[in-house]
Structure 1
Amino acid sequence: MARDVDRLAGWVRDAGGIAHRRAAENAGFGVAVRRAAVRCGAVERVRCDWLATDSAPADLLTAARNAGSLTCVSAARHRGWWMPEDVPDGIHLRLEPHGASPISDVTAHWTERIAPAPGFGLIESVEDTLAHLAVCLPPENAQVVWNSALQTEQITPEAIRRVRWRSERARMCAEHASDQSDSGLETIVAIRLSVWGVPMRQQVVLLGRPVDLLIGERLVVQIDGFAHHSSSSQRSKDVAFDAQLVLNGYTVLRFTYTQVLHDWDTVERTIARAIAAGAHRAA
């Protein structure tokens, strides 16, 4: 029995530190082994349905203890979607509309599901996560995370618009959803400049490489993401590409992560001055 208990604890750790009892049963761990593992402290039983080890992520443990599932910003972070840095921390759980009140300090979303949650339901579906983000975050941040989700989950804007969204804010996010941004920073820039009414396109291929944003015919805006442009070799390639664009008649404006997030007024004014000078027009 001790050997089976060790095998069960190892299996739960390999499953991410927390697993549903039915999944353990399907893996061949019967009720006697599960009870023995709980008695000796190899695993913890959480609300009868879950088995957890000391390696279980805190947010998933909170979801299990509250009979809920991660959603909104919590599920988005778990799925690796890009998140603006001003989005506050905290655990967001989806709970049944008539379920018990949470026993932990969480942000509760009392809703019916749009789509079934995958697996045994500790993390909400992509669609439900997006629906909660749309109503929980400011519109710009919500759109940024939506667009990141489309890239990460490889969902087309057309597919996301076919979902029967239940809120006006979710429908607006779906209407403006785009999979063209290479990063969340690009989405922020594109959203903020879209109100100008100047023609602009994302990820247009020029001289064999895509540019982040092409305004009009000749004004290129490049955004240095925090991770993607941090190395010296990548920086050298970017500078060389900028030079080639200039030699071919383009005006290139390159901005950093910090500028976009913390000095937007300067970024906006610089681009506006370039447009005023006609830099976006063909010669």
Structure 2
Amino acid sequence: MSLLSWLRERRGIGHREDAADAGYGPSRVRAAIRAGVVRRIRAKWIALDSAAPELVGAAESGGALTCVSLARRRGWWVPPDADGLLHLHLPANGAVRAEGIHAHWSKPLAPSRPRILEASVEDALADAAQCFALDQAVAIWESALRVEAISLDSLRRVPWRSASAMRCLEHVRPGTGSSLETVFHVRLSGWGVRLRCQVRLAGHDVDFLIGTHLIVQIDGWAHHSSSADRTRDLAHDAELRMRGYTVLRYSYAQVIYDWDHVERTLAAAMSRGLHLAPEVRRRA
């Protein structure tokens, strides 16, 4: 295998010590650099022009992708208003070497891996907990659980060091199917009302049941888009109303960008007792 093929198998970028271990000694690497076939990144890394810019940026800064930069790379949910900076976990003596970098200097949970350009999942989650509001951080955590197939029990065994990470852990729920629902759930968790998720009523699951009779359905981008989906949703809503439930639906845009409206309507509904059974409302 040629040095180029070896680099392509490693996403276009590799540590020179790994290259030496694979049989590509310093002389072969220097020859490839002189020929312009590969480029040198600081003293320890070599890369093809096709290498991902975020990996090259991490190598140039002597750090590892973390927080939302790792989230984007691994396909976790990323808050829509997240910055476009390169989030890097840097060693304690590391320095920011370029513009456009958000540095994380916290002591890593995982052992140091100088030949790896990605932080551990646990360190990336700890950094996200520091970077984002609780609702969005928890959504990142739950997305990572789904994508990486990590159990909640295993997360509980991690010796998290920050209060923000511990708060995320307290709110994380296993088996969630939507980061948008996670954001909603975390925001309502402090309201002091009974809130249940994915409750089966009238033959179908509802996203949230507040109290006993207030239903909230969250329509994300990927769902309820076809005519058949919409027809099914309307029929289910009608059946629920005939059984005495109040049904509120909110879109992705409302939850993410117009939360004040969502909060007002929910508070108004509960102030009218719509989260209670009709007979309880009458007695009240």
TM-score per shorter chain, which class? 0.7 to 0.9
Q: Does 1:217 align with 2:212?
A: yes
Partner of 1:144: 139
Q: Does 1:261 align with 2:265?
A: no
TM-score, normalising length from structure 2? 0.85
Partner of 1:41: 36
Q: Does 1:53 align with 2:64?
A: no
Deviations 1:26-71 (A, max 9, x none): 6565555433332222222223332311221111101001111011
Cα distance, 1:14 vs structure 2: 4.2
Q: Give the aligned residue type for 1:104.
A: A
1:74-223 mapped onto 2 (5 Å cutoff): 74-99=69-94, 101-105=95-99, 106-116=101-111, 120-223=115-218
Aligned partner (choices 260, 275, 278) of residue 270 of structure 2: 275
TM-score, normalising length from structure 1? 0.85
Alignment CA distance shift 1:202-1:119 (3 Å): farther
Partner of 1:64: 59
Alignment CA distance shift 1:233-1:54 (3 Å): farther
Q: Give the aligned residue type for 1:103.
A: R
Does the 8 Å contact 2:212/2:276 carry over to 1? yes
Segment of structure 1 superposing worse, 251-260 or 31-40 = 31-40
Provide the alpha-carbon RMSD of the alignment.
2.6
Deviations 1:251-281 (A, max 9, x none): 2211111111222222122222332333323
Question: 5+ residue gaps in structure 2?
Answer: 279-284
SS, match of residue 77 in structure 1: helix
SS, match of residue 4 in structure 2: helix
Structure 2 CA distance, aligned partners of 1:228 and 1:123? 32
Structure 2 CA distance, aligned partners of 1:22 and 1:232? 57
Alignment CA distance shift 1:277-1:181 (3 Å): farther
Structure 2 CA distance, aligned partners of 1:43 and 1:163? 39
Cα distance, 1:166 vs structure 2: 1.2
Q: Give the aligned residue type for 1:148.
A: S
